Structure 1
Amino acid sequence: MKINSITCAVLAALAMSRMCYANDTTPPAPATQPAAATQPAKPDSADTSRAATLGTVTVTAQHTAEDMQDVPITLQAFTGITLQQLHIASFNDLIKYLPNVTFAANGPGQGNIYMRGLSTGFLGNQSSASIAPFPNVAVYLDDQSMQFPARNLDIYMADMERVEVLEGPQGTLFGGGAEAGAVRYITNKPNLDRVGGSVEASMGITAGGGPNNAANAVLNLPIVPGTFALRGVIYNDHQGGYIDNVPSTFTRQPTDGGGAMAPYVAAGGTPVANNFSVAQNNWNPVDYQGGRLSALWKINDNWNFLIAESYQNLDASGQSSTYPVGADGQKLGTNQITSFVPGWNNDHYSNTAWTLNGQIGDLSLVYSGGYTNRRISEQQDYTNYSRSAGGMYYNCTGTSAGLSSAGKPICYSPIGYWNDHVRSTHQSHELRLNTPEDYRFRVIGGLYYEDFNINDHMDFDYKTIPSCTPTNLASAMAGGYPCVANAMSSPGVMLPDNTAFGEVERRGYRQEAAFGSMSYDIIPDVLTATAGTRYYHYSEWQSGTEFYTTTAQVNVPNGTYVGNDTVMNYSKTYHGFKSRANLTWHITPDMMLYYTFSQGFRPGGFNRTTSGVAKLDGVAQYKKPISYAPDTLTNNEIGFKTTFFDDRLMFNGSAYDMRWNNVQMQFFNPLVLGNTTFAVNGPNYKVDGIELQFQARVTDGLTIMGAGSLNHAKQTNSPCLYNNIAGSANFNKCIVETGAVGAETSFANPFGEIGSVPAFSPRSQYNMRARYDWTFSGDYKAFAQIGFNRTGSMYNQPATYPSGEGVTNITTVELRYLQSGYTTVDASVGVSKDNWNVSLYGTNLNNSHASVFTSSAEFIESQVPIRPRVIGLKAGFKF
């Protein structure tokens, strides 16, 4: 475990969150709520030691504090105590309890969250900051948006009050990015009246992998009791690696590059590479380190101010994927890979957030703001690209397959990689006004401003042809092997020898919005109607250069600028309204029916180039568009929320019809559609589904809970990639054929087909768990808990994409794989007395090795497995 002396000192002094409230019923009100500094807490439904009922969970999903059973949307909330009981520290831990959520995870801090099967696939992580569309599921830390293209922030869940998962469009209150739903991390706030805290530590073993250990602590200090308090949390979590990078060679084959490698092999100019210097077992350990310090000032009985500073560093070594078949075609074992370069992903963020709560007459005011600074550095292996025609182009000379056809055929090292450096800032401000909650007619209104900026410097380092140093250039000019000058990112900026392609790119947007929502109790406490809308205005932009290597760089001095870059300077604005309406009917105080209509959207974006592709007889049939527009989602949902038997049984359900239109899709098919990814607006999808949730206190000690979903998702139209180049032979017609004269091949519609299932859309998902609490020997409390999660099978790409089954000569990152369904089982037992507790837990006890993201993104079949079985021991002390 990486931990320094300062961390040790703080761990000794601080203590764990929320547990300090085990006997304290007056934690502060959420700072996002207009209230006094403290208010009584409702019983925690997950704390089975408090009462023989399920209790209530208070959420703020509609910008007002209310029982989750009164919110007319499909919603799940996990309290801080529940997160501790289930050993949930990251989103990978949480997702097993979310029956309508999938996660295309490409490693810690890398991936996309999908809800209700609203996905068109995931291409991988290289260049994602530059090319990936913005996500359609929003991520919030309190009131701060943490969304990011293909890299939603991996927030470590220490000292959380709760996590809320809101399904369906949330565009009215949470804006663009909350198109399909939102995940909200709500932190614990300082307590003005009580000194408290706890410390917690755990250690464990991973099946076939390295050891794990973690520690976290919290301290709550009322500096001026009743007026000013501080709260601090610090955490350190080391997760041992379990993927082995096994020794391997890389030998070029005559069939590489569609047979283009044959002359090189025949000439004997194909060196064999190996990964012996980087091969090692358990090479993918992950470390989370961070902390948060917050201060709450009760200015008077009507006003309070909260400020919080959060910091986290995520350090993931190696690579999170495995290969069924290695670099030289050898069959690999479970959780093995053949990688040829060091790999890492370091992801650091700091966030400053502030919230002012107060009263202006009868109106409640909330102003919240935040500023996030994020830094990412990642490097991953790309050696397998060398087997493609594109990779050969940068590795070889002497035939038409290389950068230079001069001289004897020769290839240099096939080892390549990509290196990505991302800097991002995200600023937001929101002002809300609420009328009193006991009014028959209630109004919420607000203004919102957001400024999101991303700087990305992405290098693809797979050019192994020697650069044109003075010595190499002199040799080439004297009849020796050709050299290739270094790439230029712009005039005067020369890149390293191996850099062949990449971008120095900036993108982002500014958003201004105004929103409002009105509720009227048609029959007080029985029938309520709500309607709201949001006006948004986006100013979106992208600029920078895309650089590459061409034949103009052959046999010229390094530093010679040959105009080999594409300059981007794009901007666009768009605006509109997204609305929502609800009708809720409380048949009884414990039984509610609701209907919800809601709309969502996500921002559009830009492509890096507008080159012509899909050539037929040497003539381009399609020009990549400069930009793509927002897509939209409309949801009609009916549901019920009920409790029975004096609050001992909760049973909720919903049925929904969702229409996702003008959907953003990405393409990368080097042989036909060019060597850069681009996005367009494409088909429409329809999702019909149901979701059920239940929780039962069977006896005073036994609680059983579960949830499940069943979705029928399908594509409802079939647009085509049409010839958009005026004057060409088939202008305005669907592209059906590409290729050279005499070698034409059919071109499959990349948008999918009517009735097909979208990517990452399993038919069913469900989970169930049971917990039994009892007391023995007077003061000792014990528990036993067991649960399972089932995720159905799903595809990683739309239906018309080429199948990856059995394909070894991979030329595209868009191969379609079936990700098999899987089940995991978790369990734990523990005992507590007074202020201490000890528990033994196990996750993935059945040791499933299912893949959560199978792809050809690195030009080889790769699978991202779930973490193998973990057995751990955890101990905590509260004061």
Structure 2
Amino acid sequence: MVSKVKSRAAGLLIGVAGLAIAATSALAQEQGGVEREEIVVTAQRRAQSIQDVPISISALSTEDIERGGFSEFDDYATRIPNLSFSASGSSSTDGALSIAIRGVFGNNTTGFYIDDSPLLATLNPRVVDLERIEVLRGPQGTLYGARSMGGTVRLITTQPDLDETSGRARALVSTIHEGGMNYGVDGAVNLPVVPGVLAVRAVGYIQENGGFIDRAPRADAPTPFAHRKDIDSESVRGLQLSGLLSLAGGDLTIAPRIMYERTERDGRTQADFRAGNRINLRQYDIDEPSENEWTLATLTATYNAPFGTFLAATSYFDRSYSDSEDFSEWTTAVLGFQGASTTYSETDQKIFSQELRFVSGWEGPIDLTAGLFYQRSKSDWRFPTTIVEGFSDDAFNLDNPTKVTEKAVFAEATWHVTDALRFIVGARAFKNEVDFNLRQGGDFIGPDEFYAGKQSEKGVTPKVGVQYDIDDDRMLYVTMSEGFRVGGVNFYAATLCQAEIDGLGLGDTTTFDSDSLRSYEAGLKSSWLDRRMTVNVAAFRIDWKDLQQRQGLGCGFSLNVNAGEARLQGAELEFDLLPLDDTRILFNVGYVDTEITDTGGLTTVTRGASIQNVPKWTWSVALDQDFQLGAIPAFLHADYSYTGGSWSGNNNPTTPLRRPAFKVANARVGTEFGLGRIALFVDNIFDEAANYADIPPLGVQTPGRPRIVVNQPRTIGIEWRRNF
């Protein structure tokens, strides 16, 4: 069936593209051609046209974000070739998704930035007041450091305007198929306090999601309870306040900012056994609420000297979240005891980052970017006393404070040999240190267990490349680059799991090491038909050593282990066409083949197997059309995306679960008039139940019942926007 869909889609694409190119060619000859708006990115820490950057990169503008109606990561992720995601992290971050770029999957494999602040890829902040989204594919170890081994996602916010008072407002309401109602409002105000010198920008947003997962009593429920609908409802509140001070005639700018977001969930957006099952059958009517609250404070100072730009970026991130989970079925199945059981966790995270950077602006054949980086991350993961009613007043407790310190010096230079030929060389020298303590106890564990230690590593990640301009509209490049991520510490109950770990031959699993990879990439960036069409193609091969893999255990816990080596190879294509002045067609496709080439002696990993949670194929097609309803301007947006199937071994490495391919279609049509822009939209038109993977439990895995994180069903709504 999938092959038929692929062949039909390919045939349709070829036919549409052929007609569009013919129409575009004729129009260009008749009208002399109209150039598209240039997209400027800062992927290499300096402003450049996206077509001049010698790496595979995708960018979404403010207009793209608004037309697509993006509000969260999974809304826009399916538009990016070779970007995939899965619910493979801790259960305590139910709303978070692990990101994989070019098949480089696992926690901390993808860098995630808000402007110049490195944060957690699982943060998933709301997409509000952004200038653009940049996705950099391939290891970005030189300029972005650890966790950017697969690539980097950057959210670039709208900065205060020193000269004009402006603002915007947005409101929406929608209904979920067989679920609740969604409501949302957000807005921004820009105010020049001293025109040309000082400005402030304030942003606020509220989002209420109605939920669609139900809870009902099992046939053997000790005390029957009423069917509960929409138990996974969610409330989000956010606020951003930023400033911009311009001194010395604009050569010195100081930009402070604070961002705050709080999310409260009444329950989990998780289905039992399969993605389409929207009823959780339980023994007890136990709620599973969670809260996630974070604050990001930043201060960025920039000085423009005659020979270049100096930048100092400081950020402080403070996050706390709590989570709970019903594990009554586990106590029944494993302990033979029937009683209400809930486990609860709390986590505090604090990240301080400082980067000093110089970007050259002198006249000459060498462009240079160089800097220093420091980051200190502290986290404390706690399980207060877990009570199993009638069985134990202290079944389990844990405290796991961890500190990670990262230091680096980096530089990247581009030598303009001729006007057309450039050589690129760069390197990042780093030193990382992990300090951890772990104490756990309770009746499930026995006597208290203590672990403490320190892990440190240092090294250098190089980059070399060649870039050649065929002409003003076509460029070839070849790059070799390396990336890495920091190692860490595992959490499990030795009393329950040690015998199983020894039987698997895993050795000392208290910690796991860093892993690293080397990537080889070749690409073409091109514009055609008087720049009405862009075609960008890249091919790559990645050799991955000591890769960290998540391994589930029969005792109910899971581990990160270094599992040998892997090879990843593939390609991506991005096609963007303006056949008419009011019509835009986009097509993106990504392919990656992953293979474990060395098991590293682990019995739980199979040579020749694919990397978990990585689809081979990802593709999307989108259409934007502007037209007139009489004298009123109107627009249409439609998109369709495909994410291939993969395997998830989050909870059972020996028999991983199949994640079926999923296809999501969205559409919106709207019009603009004096009071703003009104759009009617349908998200997930065909009500696809997408499997985002079985998620590791907060407590322990109930035997035979995986919990699947799923997407939102078909949602129909109306949205209003206005700029003023």
TM-score normalised by structure 2 residue count: 0.89
Measured in 2, the distance between the counterparts of 1:620 and 1:80 equals 51
| Residue 550 to residue 65, structure 1, CA distance change in 2 (3 Å) | closer
For 2:18, the equivalent position in structure 1 comes to: none
For 1:63, the equivalent position in structure 2 comes to: 45
Q: Pick one of 270, 273, 288 that aligns with 1:321.
A: 270
For 2:371, the equivalent position in structure 1 comes to: 446
Q: Pick one of 508, 511, 520 that aligns with 2:415.
A: 520
For 1:718, the equivalent position in structure 2 comes to: 599
SS at match of 2:598: coil
Cα deviation code 1:760-817 (max 9, x no counterpart): 1111110001111124544x211112110011111112999333xxxxxxxxxxxx11
Measured in 2, the distance between the counterparts of 1:791 and 1:195 equals 43
Does the Cα contact within 8 Å between 2:145 and 2:428 map onto a contact in 1?
yes
For 1:697, the equivalent position in structure 2 comes to: 578
Residue 653 of structure 1 aligns to which amino acid in structure 2?
V
Measured in 2, the distance between the counterparts of 1:427 and 1:500 equals 35
Measured in 1, the distance between the counterparts of 2:329 and 2:257 equals 45
Does the Cα contact within 8 Å between 1:52 and 1:697 map onto a contact in 2?
no
| Residue 350 to residue 433, structure 1, CA distance change in 2 (3 Å) | same
Does the Cα contact within 8 Å between 1:417 and 1:460 map onto a contact in 2?
no
Measured in 2, the distance between the counterparts of 1:755 and 1:234 equals 49
For 2:548, the equivalent position in structure 1 comes to: 664
SS at match of 1:171: coil
| Residue 523 to residue 551, structure 1, CA distance change in 2 (3 Å) | closer
Q: What are the equivalent positions in structure 2 for 1:734-813 lying under 5 Å apart?
A: 749-751=603-605, 753-778=606-631, 780-797=632-649, 801-803=653-655
| Residue 140 to residue 466, structure 1, CA distance change in 2 (3 Å) | same
Does the Cα contact within 8 Å between 1:850 and 1:866 map onto a contact in 2?
yes
SS at match of 1:83: helix
TM-score normalised by structure 1 residue count: 0.74
Cα deviation code 1:502-544 (max 9, x no counterpart): 31110121111100011111112x1111110001111211113
Measured in 1, the distance between the counterparts of 2:675 and 2:111 equals 38
Cα deviation code 1:575-596 (max 9, x no counterpart): 1101112211110110011111
Instruction: Please report how far the alpha carbon of residue 718 of structure 1 lies from its aligned counterpart in structure 2 after TM superposition.
Output: 2.4
Matched, 1:596 2:479: yes
Residue 338 of structure 1 aligns to which amino acid in structure 2?
L
Residue 105 of structure 2 aligns to which amino acid in structure 1?
S
For 1:819, the equivalent position in structure 2 comes to: 659
Measured in 1, the distance between the counterparts of 2:607 and 2:398 equals 36
Measured in 2, the distance between the counterparts of 1:454 and 1:297 equals 34
SS at match of 1:660: strand
Measured in 2, the distance between the counterparts of 1:112 and 1:446 equals 29
| Residue 285 to residue 628, structure 1, CA distance change in 2 (3 Å) | same
| Residue 670 to residue 196, structure 1, CA distance change in 2 (3 Å) | same
Q: Pick one of 583, 606, 614 that aligns with 2:466.
A: 583
Residue 795 of structure 1 aligns to which amino acid in structure 2?
W
SS at match of 2:245: strand
For 1:483, the equivalent position in structure 2 comes to: none
Does the Cα contact within 8 Å between 1:750 and 1:800 map onto a contact in 2?
no
For 2:323, the equivalent position in structure 1 comes to: 378
Instruction: Please report how far the alpha carbon of residue 274 of structure 1 lies from its aligned counterpart in structure 2 after TM superposition.
Output: 4.3
Q: Pick one of 373, 383, 398 that aligns with 1:503.
A: 398
Matched, 1:873 2:718: yes
Instruction: Please report how far the alpha carbon of residue 372 of structure 1 lies from its aligned counterpart in structure 2 after TM superposition.
Output: 0.7
Measured in 2, the distance between the counterparts of 1:619 and 1:874 equals 57
Q: Pick one of 189, 199, 212 that aligns with 1:219.
A: 189
For 1:402, the equivalent position in structure 2 comes to: none
* Number of equivalences: 678
SS at match of 1:352: strand
Q: Pick one of 420, 427, 440 that aligns with 1:533.
A: 427
Cα deviation code 1:249-294 (max 9, x no counterpart): 4x4xxxxxxxxxxxxxxxxxxxx534626x4111111222101010
Residue 791 of structure 1 aligns to which amino acid in structure 2?
T
Cα deviation code 1:802-849 (max 9, x no counterpart): 33xxxxxxxxxxxx1111111111111111135611111111001111
| Residue 232 to residue 856, structure 1, CA distance change in 2 (3 Å) | closer
For 1:549, the equivalent position in structure 2 comes to: 443
Measured in 2, the distance between the counterparts of 1:863 and 1:608 equals 22
SS at match of 1:685: strand
Measured in 1, the distance between the counterparts of 2:94 and 2:403 equals 23
| Residue 625 to residue 435, structure 1, CA distance change in 2 (3 Å) | same
Cα deviation code 1:307-352 (max 9, x no counterpart): 1110001112211111148xxxxxx973111243211221110111
| Residue 539 to residue 615, structure 1, CA distance change in 2 (3 Å) | closer
Q: Pick one of 49, 64, 73 that aligns with 1:82.
A: 64
Q: What are the equivalent positions in structure 2 for 1:290-689 lying under 5 Å apart?
A: 290-301=238-249, 302-324=251-273, 334-339=277-282, 340=284, 341-389=286-334, 392=335, 411-413=337-339, 415-436=340-361, 439-459=364-384, 461=386, 463-467=388-392, 497=393, 499-524=394-419, 526-549=420-443, 564-608=447-491, 611=494, 615=499, 623-670=507-554, 676-689=557-570
For 1:115, the equivalent position in structure 2 comes to: 101
Measured in 1, the distance between the counterparts of 2:187 and 2:545 equals 46
Question: Higher Cα Rg: structure 1 or 2?
Answer: 1
Does the Cα contact within 8 Å between 1:566 and 1:609 map onto a contact in 2?
no
Does the Cα contact within 8 Å between 2:308 and 2:361 map onto a contact in 1?
yes
Measured in 2, the distance between the counterparts of 1:608 and 1:846 equals 41
For 1:727, the equivalent position in structure 2 comes to: none
| Residue 333 to residue 795, structure 1, CA distance change in 2 (3 Å) | closer
Instruction: Please report how far the alpha carbon of residue 609 of structure 1 lies from its aligned counterpart in structure 2 after TM superposition.
Output: 6.6
Measured in 2, the distance between the counterparts of 1:599 and 1:384 equals 46
For structure 2, the residue ranges without an aligned partner over 5 or more in a row are 1-32
| Residue 418 to residue 588, structure 1, CA distance change in 2 (3 Å) | same
For 2:14, the equivalent position in structure 1 comes to: none
Instruction: Please report how far the alpha carbon of residue 690 of structure 1 lies from its aligned counterpart in structure 2 after TM superposition.
Output: 0.8
Measured in 2, the distance between the counterparts of 1:505 and 1:321 equals 27
